[in-house]
Amino acid sequence: MRPSRRGEQAPAHPFSPAEKAAVYRAIETRRDVRDQFLPDPIPEPVLRRLLQAAHNAPSVGFMQPWSFVVIRDAVVKAGAHQAFQRANAEAADLFEGERQELYRSLKLEGILKAPVSLCVTCDPDRAGSVVLGRTHNPRMDVYSTVCAVQNLWLAARAEGVGVGWVSIFHEDDIRALLGIPDRIEIVAWLCLGYVDALYEEPELAVKGWRQRLPLEELVHADRWGQQG
């Protein structure tokens, strides 16, 4: 293969059947991980590949608004776990009866068990104040950052690394813990670690919290509410 030169286009050959299958396999078997983390460290080159996958995400106006705080310090993790516990107690109180009981039985984070956590942030000023594509929807920078998270999540699946997204905390608790400036938005706390087993279906479905919706109910043809 000759080296690519800036400005040239490469042929967009379809993937081979095996490559295609691998992509769909990563998508279909990716799971949110809470309790299955193994203690094995993630080697630097693997973590680097995951971060590179995140960094290859699409972004509005190519602003690349993300940053990644890589957390291995047990004290910091303990602080995040405390933030989770406080918020989770508040969240549990919002449900009643059996639903609350079920909620309380769910494991919803793996902060202490996972060898690495990543805090993924969004800098709204990364590309100046006027950003191509963000003018009429200021949330586009955060949506771009979520694309980076999903890239990392899928790449991690291929590497045998589990990822668990934790969003049950007050943003200000994590901001203070990590020293994140006010103007930077916290998008995700991700727990990362090797796993040797994953649920075949979402754990929340397995545990009876909520089931996958039929795709047919979510697809509209030409107009909202019209079936194809």
Among 40, 167, 170, 206, binds ligand FNR (CB under 6 A): 167
34 binds ligand FNR (CB under 6 A): yes
* 140-159 and 44-55 helices, crossing angle to 10°: 140
Alpha-carbon distance of 12 to 55, in angstroms, equals 21
CA-to-CA distance for 191 and 161, rounded, in angstroms? 10
Give me the count of residues in the chain.
228
Residue 81 lies near ligand FNR (rule: CB under 6 A): no
| Span from 68-76, 122-130, 161-169, 170-178 in contact with ligand FNR (CB under 6 A) | 161-169
Under the binding rule (CB under 6 A), the answer on residue 77 touching ligand FNR is no
171 exposure class (CB count in 10 Å sphere: 0-12, 13-18, 19+):
middle
Residue 133 engages ligand FNR in binding (rule: CB under 6 A)? no
Query: What is the Cα–Cα distance from 122 to 131, expressed in whole angstroms?
Result: 14
What DSSP letter does each residue of 170-215 carry, written as one string?
-HHHHHHHHT--TTSEEEEEEEEEE-S---SS-HHHHTTS-PPPPG
**Tokens representing residue 30 in the block:** 């990716």
Q: Which of 123, 165, 171, 184 binds ligand FNR (CB under 6 A)?
A: 165
- Which residue blocks in the chain are alpha helix, DSSP H? 17-29, 44-55, 74-92, 97-105, 140-159, 171-178, 203-206
Piece of 16-24, 29-37, 72-80, 154-162 that binds ligand FNR (CB under 6 A): 29-37
Q: What is the nearest approach in angstroms of ligand FNR to the Cβ of residue 160?
A: 16
Name the one range near ligand FNR by CB under 6 A: 38-46, 122-130, 166-174, 178-186.
166-174
CB closer to ligand FNR out of 50 and 127: 50
Q: How many residues bind ligand FNR (CB under 6 A)?
A: 12
* Residue with the shortest CB distance to ligand FNR: 202
| Listed ranges 7-15, 51-59, 112-120, 201-209: which one lies at the site for ligand FNR (CB under 6 A) | 201-209
Task: Record the tokens describing residue 67, joined without a space.
Answer: 């940053």
Among 166, 174, 186, 195, binds ligand FNR (CB under 6 A): 166
Q: How far is the CB of 31 from ligand FNR (least distance, A)?
A: 4
- Chain residues binding ligand FNR by CB under 6 A are 31-32, 34, 108-109, 165-168, 202-204
